[in-house]
A and B are shown apart, each in its own frame.
Chain A
């Protein structure tokens, strides 16, 4: 298993995932730094991402859009607040309108990503901090049909357990 740990904190509104990859930190760093690599994994399965702009430097901004199954485009942006290659990056991730302009009515998600060498592997920890449930709601709108079915199945399992 690549995913080592997942932690959801409903009260602090944070979500943390820890994963390990069979490559050194400098290589895993590249999947964030290079837009062409980033767009191969950022979008949910039914919402592939395209990065129109990717300024991977402190203070730099990115603009991207994800295309849904019915052709709907969801626009987003990143603003990098800290880059410490290849150990740590921090960025804000928000929604944008159809022209790519940041939506000001919703606070961005703050992401803190750390890369730790474990032998010749990399342990990557991503912490996402939300300021409101609305953000979560928006994220959840992005496709994830199969993911939703899977999730519902898991919850059904929990609910079916004798208490």
Chain B
């Protein structure tokens, strides 16, 4: 559930470009941390840290497969966070249409 602190963690996790990229890559198919680490110009430890932030926010899960740690995206959590801001956007898009309507009827 994206409520309170949980939601804060989700928004914090998604505020970083590398983390958004990692999430996009693992959302459909799992990838190992070492495979992810090769994709970015940063240390293995730095990528691991990003993965940990995503995991803490509940956006990904890690699974041990032999010697590898495989990262999977948690679609539901991401969907809820995005839905929250998208709903606000919908409220305002509706308001803009409402203002248009008010203006149109009077002129």
Q: Is the CB of A10 within 8 A of B15?
A: yes
B interface: dominant SS: helix
Given A133-B11, A163-B25, CB of A140 within 8 Å of CB of B88: yes
**Cβ of A19 under 8 Å from chain B:** yes
Contact between A10 and B94 (Cβ–Cβ < 8 Å)?
no
- Asked if A142 contacts B91 (CB within 8 A), the reply is yes
Residues in chain A near residue B14, CB distance under 8 A: 10
B93 and A17 form a contact (CB under 8 A): yes
Flag if B85 contacts A8 (CB, 8 Å): yes
Cβ-defined contact, B101 with A41, below 8 A: yes
Are A8 and B7 in touch, CB under 8 angstroms?
A: no
Query: Are the C-beta atoms of A150 and B25 separated by less than 8 Å?
Result: no
Establish whether residues B96 and A155, one from each chain, have CB atoms under 8 Å apart when the complex forms: no
Contact A3 B96, beta carbon cutoff 8 Å: yes
* Chain B nearest Cβ from A3, distance in angstroms: 6
* A10-B14, A15-B92, A133-B8 known; A147+B85 contact, CB < 8 A: no
Verify if A82 is at the interface (C-beta below 8 Å from B).
no
Write out the residue numbers on chain B whose beta carbons fall within 8 Å of the beta carbon of A21. Answer: 99-100, 103
| Nearest-CB residue, chain B, relative to A161 | B24
Interface status of A126 (Cβ within 8 A of chain B): yes
Give, as a whole number of angstroms, the nearest-CB distance from A139 to chain B: 6
Residues of A within 8 A of B87 (CB): 139-140, 144, 147-148, 151
Q: Which of A6, A10, A11, A155 has the most CB of B within 10 A?
A: A10
Question: Which residue of chain B is the closest to A141 with respect to CB atoms?
Answer: B87
Q: Which of B37-89 contact A (CB under 8 A)?
A: 75, 78-79, 81-89
User: Please, how many angstroms separate the alpha-carbon atoms of A158 and B86 in the complex?
Assistant: 13
Q: Which of A23-31, A54-62, A67-75, A94-102 contacts B (4 or more CB under 8 A)?
A: A23-31
B27, B81, B103 interface centre (most CB from chain A within 10 Å):
B103
Is B92 touching A17 in the complex (CB atoms < 8 A)? Answer: yes
**Looking at the complex, which one of B8, B11, B84, B96 makes contact with A140 (CB distance below 8 Å)?**
B84
Q: How many angstroms between the C-alpha atoms of A22 and B15 in the bound complex?
A: 36
Q: Can you report 9 residue pairs joining A to B where beta carbons are below 8 Å apart?
A: A6-B89, A10-B11, A17-B93, A19-B96, A41-B94, A132-B8, A147-B94, A151-B89, A159-B78
B residues in contact (CB < 8 Å) with A: 2-4, 7-8, 11-12, 14-15, 24-25, 27-28, 75, 78-79, 81-103, 107
Beyond the given A6-B93, A8-B85, please list 13 additional residue pairs across the A-B interface where CB-CB is below 8 A: A2-B100, A6-B92, A10-B15, A13-B11, A15-B89, A28-B103, A40-B101, A41-B94, A134-B4, A137-B3, A140-B83, A140-B87, A154-B86
